[in-house]
Amino acid sequence: MMKGLIIRQPWIDLILDGKKTWEMRSKATNVRGEIALIRAKSGLVFGTARLMKSGAPLGRLDYMAHTDKHAIPEAMLDEVIENGWVHPWVLDQIRVLPRPVPYTHPSGAVTFVNLDPSVVAAVKSGGSVKDPSAPIGHPPSAMSYSRPSEKIDVEPTATQAPTSSVPTDYNGPIFVFRPETAQAYGRPLPDGRFLVLKDSSAMRSGSPNVKRDAHDRDRLVREGVLVSDGDNRYRFTRDHAFSSSSKAAGIIKDGNSSGPSLWKHVKSGRSLKDSEALCSESVA
């Protein structure tokens, strides 16, 4: 029986790209051998790998010495360590499937799933282990297999997180923005963009000042990213990556906004700007 490991973005993409071989988790595992690599909330297997071992917990110095293996930016280390994601699960023989393979996700599974024999057969029959020295690319058709209601949306000019009343996401710190009756959650991405999470709400009609993002907001409505949710609100139907935290805040508020000041850490209440400054000081 093959197990599938559920991995959130952007970490699974880094693994499939050959840029990450340590998957950081909050506890050790006894699982060894070949496993399937599942992109969280996609219902799809995108690749396989061999889980070689579960390493000893890392401290800050260990983290900083092995960035090439875990691929977590220094600015995120405080949050990651605070949440206990310090156990490296070491992977090798990473293989990208030519076509993602769908599977049935059991209710409540958050780390491993036991794959049906038919799914295992489909996974094993596709692709081959690549030369470790060669770059590992994503299957060209991968995004076309994402479920429309669960895919990560990105700005054309510019990835998944569970949501609840206060969502948690161990890919990075979560921030909240509450303009009037709206409430949105999001997190900064390593490449500088800002990801607003599914089920966040946005003002339908905000402040009357100049709205530089009006055409982008209209596009999101046309594409179904924003849908009506009451008399004066929209709701995000899926995660959406904006080019910046200010762009995200402007769409949510329906008016020009300073994202670094308006997005607040859900635990500490610090602004995104202050949180990033604190991380920089800690690293220094």
Q: Collapse the DSSP code of 278 into the 3-class scheme (helix H, G, I; strand E, B; otherwise coil) and give the result.
A: helix
pLDDT band at 105 (very low <50, low <70, confident <90, very high): confident
pTM listed for this prediction? 0.49
Which DSSP string corresponds to 216-232? Answer: HHHHHHHTTSEEE-STT
Lowest-pLDDT range of 86-90, 172-176, 208-212, 259-263:
208-212
Task: Say which residues have a Cβ less than 8 Å from residue 139's Cβ, sequence separation at least 6.
Answer: 46, 96, 97, 98, 99, 100
Question: What percent of the chain shows pLDDT beyond 90?
Answer: 44
Would the pLDDT of 156 be above 60? no
Would the pLDDT of 155 be above 70? no
Would the pLDDT of 87 be above 90? yes
Lowest-pLDDT range of 70-84, 197-211, 246-260:
197-211
Closest CA to 160 of 3, 12, 4: 12
What is the rounded average pLDDT of the residues 132-139?
A: 36
Which DSSP string corresponds to 100-136? Answer: EEE-PPPTT-SSEEEPPHHHHHHHHHS--PPPTTSPP
pLDDT value at residue 75: 83
Distance, CA of 83 to CA of 77 (rounded, Å): 10
In sign, the C-alpha dihedral spanning 134, 160, 170, 33 is negative
In sign, the C-alpha dihedral spanning 73, 74, 78, 83 is positive
State the pairing for strand pair 3-7/33-39: parallel
Q: In the chain, what are the domain boundaries?
A: 3-140, 154-283
Would the pLDDT of 161 be above 70? no
Beta bridge partners of 265: 175
Laid out side by side, the sheet with 3-7 consists of 22-25, 87-102, 44-54, 33-39, 3-7, 112-114
> Residue 103 corresponds to which tokens in the numbers above?
């599977």
CATH 2.30.130.30 holds for 3-140: yes
Laid out side by side, the sheet with 153-154 consists of 153-154, 240-242, 194-196, 184-188, 175-177, 264-265
Q: Write down the mean pLDDT value for the chain.
A: 80
Contact between 252 and 195 under an 8 Å Cβ cutoff? The reply is: no
pLDDT value at residue 258: 85
User: Is the preceding omega at residue 10 within 30 degrees of 0, hence cis?
Assistant: yes
Burial class of 32 by CB neighbour count within 10 A (0 to 12, 13 to 18, 19+):
exposed
What is the rounded average pLDDT of the residues 161-168?
A: 41
Q: Which residue has the higher pLDDT, 134 or 113?
A: 113
